[in-house]
Chain A
Amino acid sequence: LSERRRVRVRPPREELADGSALGAVYLRRLIRAQLSLSLLTLVTFGALLGGLPLMLLLLPGVADVDVLGVPLSLLLVGVPMFPFLVALGWLYQHRADALDASFGELAHPPAPEDPP
């Protein structure tokens, strides 16, 4: 009976709770998934925010375009980034929630029937 116990596949949740070697692997994978999602979002947002000053510096013509009586360069800094940040944040929040949920499902399989 003890032989069967040892080979029984334990749910990841228990491995995690015990801090076993297998649990560490699960945890590492979770953190890596979370981190790559965050980094991907960071790159998107960094490219836009970081690229804006460079673009305005390299394309001085943007200042000559008038929108509603205000130079486009000024408007680009003052307005569109804010809704963009909200949209990107919203997208990230949904992906992150989904990631957590899928890990939760993996770690919480329907309770396996223990052999008598």
Chain B
Amino acid sequence: VIALAAVIAVTAGAVGLGTWGVRLARTTSDVFVASRAISPWWNAAAISGEYLSAASFLGIAGLQMKLGAGALWLPLGFTAGYMTLLLFVAAPLRRFGSYTIPDFAEARLSSPRLRVLGAAIVLIICGFYLVPQLKGAGITLGVITGAPYWVGVVVVAMVVALIVALGGMRGITYVQAYQYWVKTFAICVPACVLLIHLGGLPSRAALFGEELPRAGASGLTVELEKPTRVEFPARVTYAVDGARFVAEAGERRTLPAGELALPPRAVVPVADGTKALRGSDWSAPVSGDTTTTPVYVYSLLLATVLGTMGLPHILVRFYTNRDGPAARRTTVRVLGLLGLFYLFPAVYGLLGRVLVPELYVTGATDEVVLRLPEAAWPGLGGEILAAVVAAGAFAAFMSTASGLLVSLAGTMSYDLWGRIRAPAAGERGVGTRTWRFRVCALATMLVPAALALGARGLDISLLVGWAFALAASTFCPLFLLGIWWTGLTARGAAAGMITGAVTATAGIFAGLITDAPATTTGDALLAQPAAVSVPLAFLTMWLVSVCDPHRPRDVAAHMLALHGPEQLGLAVAQPPLGTSVSRTSKDQTSDAVPTGPD
């Protein structure tokens, strides 16, 4: 009950702030909006707020519990992605003035067809990214209210779609900045309080020694909702609904639905897809013989470090920076804010291994952040902390999901619908566009929601990892070559993006079908295809461009617009867009395609 109240309070706060922010922007002078008087700190908090999704809040700790310390490369990669963004993309893209990826593709390479391809890839990436957010919603609502998984998915999908369609809680900088601080508070405070309450990390043998995950000193009871296939790492006597059984070490059995009881200190069985690891293996960030092989780690780092720059909902946020240097300043602050947040998920993974071993049995390790407080501290203290954590998780998937849906609906309604059905859509009234945007917001939510219903067994962090792999193999080469190389052509860009997208998707689905734990190099590359698909995309883009005789127009002018410092005074006239307009009415952003100084 406390948890539900906290969730409602935080969400209401965000919606309230959104409405209040809109009113403020409307009533105070237009100068306030038009001058982009938003400081890098606010912007950085807003970007971090939009970025920290269910994958960061729930997924990292969950994957860490399942795979071991190898999951800790994820937060590192998620943060380091902003480093490459800072070095190669932030300032030039701000100077260029187009902040949706299809805009950039069309303007830089003067190819309207490339816009459509870019838009299609935006849809795939945002869709991939939305699924784990909705999964987070399903399990969070399940944990705090006991509702079945699908209820949470459907309810949150509908709420987010409605909020976005009605224009509430739009991507106003202040709302997202508020969400960042909610999330950081919600992950940091419970972690610290629990560590103090427990007096440090419990049971070092289980964490770092030779022990497998074990039941607590008073045994363990697990409520199994459905028959579950498990593997017993050691000989154990167990009871299901009172009937006693003995399982030998290494035996695989299907446990029927019901109440599973394990004696004190018994080694817990692990669900299919999980490998029971000894503490020393579990706490090794890389190792040759577990699931976190060096190939997997490097492929994952590559995907996250290069994928961040290709996330549509993040890039559009950089638009509220005043100029190129301000974009750089903002990005450096993002590095700091994310670093602060990412210090804490590991605490939940560590404590969870000892204190909530039942998640190994059910396989639902993604719930560890939500379940830990009450397991570690039974009573009111734990209940309050659980409420804080639930509110943070809610903020995480609500903010990211609404940002993604805005990108999805904007791309759908402007880039695709407008182009395919009526080429002169840009001439139509704002009314039609708003209406289209709303329809798209409601419609585009359907596919991710359906996928999320089927994705219950997949780890949130893995799903998000795929979105990153896809972004790294398509938009990353487009940006890096488009910004820094004059020789890129429209055909080269198209060929490279298609190659990258196809290889990455094929790898992901092949990995899903074979469903093997990624212990060999081949399996690791299927699970995380970036190490193959990214170089392949770069190579194709370069090769096709070199052979292509059709050079895009005005390359020199575009290069000047991308790289010319503001001090020159040559910069393209900045479109008079404010903070609140830049997100929801993406079509307006798209109209302001810079042409460079003529």
> Using a CB–CB distance below 8 Å, which chain A residues touch chain B?
13, 16-17, 19, 23-24, 27, 30-31, 34-35, 38, 41-42, 45, 49-50, 53-54, 56-57, 60, 63, 69-71, 73-74, 76-79, 81-83, 85-86, 88-90, 92-93, 96-97, 100-101, 103-105, 107-108
Contacts and interface: CB of A to CB of B under 8 A. Distances in A.
A16 B560 contact: yes
Contact of A82 (B331, B343, B565): B343
- Please give me the 8 A-B residue pairs with the lowest Cβ-Cβ distance, nearest first: A104-B567, A82-B339, A100-B565, A89-B332, A38-B87, A77-B285, A86-B336, A77-B72
Interface stretch (B286-294, B392-400, B425-433): B286-294
B224 to A, nearest CB: 32
A70 B201 contact: yes
B45 interface: no
Nearest to A30: B563
Contacts of B201: 69-70
B468 to A, nearest CB: 15
Contacts of A54: 294
Task: State the majority secondary structure of interface residues on B.
Answer: helix
Contacts of A77: 69, 72-73, 76, 285
Interface size class of B (residues with CB under 8 A): 35 or more
B284 interface: yes
Interface of B: 69, 72-73, 75-76, 79-80, 82-84, 86-88, 91, 200-201, 204, 208, 280, 283-288, 294, 297-298, 301, 305, 324-325, 328-329, 331-332, 335-336, 338-340, 342-343, 346, 484, 556-557, 559-560, 563-570, 597
Contacts of A63: 208, 280, 283-284
Q: Is the interface of A mostly helix, strand, loop or mixed?
A: helix
Given A71-B208, A83-B339, A108-B567, A17 B597 contact: yes
- The winner among A34, A101, A103 for most chain B CB atoms within 10 A is A34
30 contacts: A13-B568, A19-B556, A27-B563, A27-B564, A41-B87, A53-B294, A54-B294, A56-B285, A57-B294, A60-B284, A63-B283, A63-B284, A69-B204, A70-B201, A71-B283, A81-B76, A81-B79, A82-B338, A82-B339, A85-B82, A85-B83, A85-B335, A86-B339, A89-B83, A89-B335, A90-B332, A92-B328, A100-B324, A104-B567, A108-B569
